[in-house]
């Protein structure tokens, strides 16, 4: 078991998958708050369309999402060609993997935060304003503590989805050994080679890692909730 899960190829895949998923989840947490805030606090033309587009990653088959992202961010794609002028490669690099994970993870964060913002009593914000607090101070001292548990939940869900994502990642990753190989792809490769013991061993490690991450997030959530209640 130790031999299987500690080969250079597998260790590299752990690093790529986990680091990409963490970075994507952190970015999603920031922009998820912004998107949820805009959808709840503002009225504007096209709001319903934007709200519906948040669900797009859920509706699209992952393979379709992966092919579309690869086409957009390749050297000859609409977006990739712009970055290519500055010698910045997106497709077939870890940046591309992170972008794919951001795409499939953003709905989890937005949908976790949105209901909390909708239920928040506006009197807290009004009281803070009357006491002389600036907008930024009101957000960080009054609103953020209320939505922080929801942010953690969204972060955990986006992270878990990113770690286990296969369809939307494999196309843009390019399967370059020791650079863009992700763990789900290695597991699938092992299964195709009928190496069921190898695939199961690697999957068990990912299961344990995911469990530890979710446990830590739940512990932090519990601590934050108790502190807010006290």
What number of helices (H) and strands (E) belong to the chain?
13, 0
Distance (Å, whole) CA 105 – CA 31: 11
Note whether 116 and 152 are within 8 A (CB): no
pLDDT of residue 230: 58
The DSSP line for 106-125 is HHHHHHHHHHHHHHS-HHHH
* In contact, 161 and 104? CB cutoff 8 Å: yes
The Cα–Cα gap between 155 and 145 comes to 15
Q: Are 148 and 221 in contact (CB under 8 A)?
A: no
- So what's the pLDDT on residue 219? 86
pLDDT per residue of the chain (230 residues) written in tens, 0 to 9: 999 999 999 999 999 999 999 999 999 999 999 999 999 988 888 888 988 889 888 888 888 888 999 999 988 889 999 998 888 899 999 999 999 999 999 999 999 999 998 888 777 777 887 888 788 888 888 888 888 889 998 998 899 889 888 888 988 988 888 888 999 999 998 999 999 999 999 999 999 988 888 888 888 878 777 765 55
- Specify the pTM: 0.89
Give the whole-angstrom CA distance, residue 18 versus residue 147.
25
């Amino acid at each position: 078991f130790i031999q299987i899960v500690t080969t250079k190829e597998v260790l590299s895949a752990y690093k790529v998958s986990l680091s990409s998923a963490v970075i994507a989840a952190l970015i999603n947490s920031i922009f998820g708050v912004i998107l949820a805030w805009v959808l709840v606090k503002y009225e504007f033309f096209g709001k319903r369309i934007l709200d519906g587009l948040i669900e797009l990653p859920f509706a699209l088959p992952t393979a379709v999402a992966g092919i579309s992202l690869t086409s957009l961010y390749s050297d000859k794609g609409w977006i990739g060609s712009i970055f290519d002028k500055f010698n910045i490669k997106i497709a077939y690099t870890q940046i591309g993997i992170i972008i794919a994970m951001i795409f499939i993870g953003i709905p989890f964060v937005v949908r976790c935060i949105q209901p909390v913002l909708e239920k928040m009593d506006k009197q807290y914000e009004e009281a803070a304003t009357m006491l002389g607090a600036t907008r930024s101070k009101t957000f960080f001292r009054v609103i953020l503590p209320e939505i922080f548990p929801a942010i953690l939940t969204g972060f955990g869900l986006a992270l878990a989805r990113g770690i286990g994502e296969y369809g939307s990642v494999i196309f843009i990753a390019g399967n370059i050994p020791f650079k863009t190989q992700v763990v789900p792809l290695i597991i699938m490769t092992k299964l195709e080679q009928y190496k069921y013991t190898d695939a199961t061993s690697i999957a068990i490690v990912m299961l344990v890692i995911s469990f530890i991450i979710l446990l830590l997030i739940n512990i932090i959530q519990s601590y934050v909730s108790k502190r807010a209640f006290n």
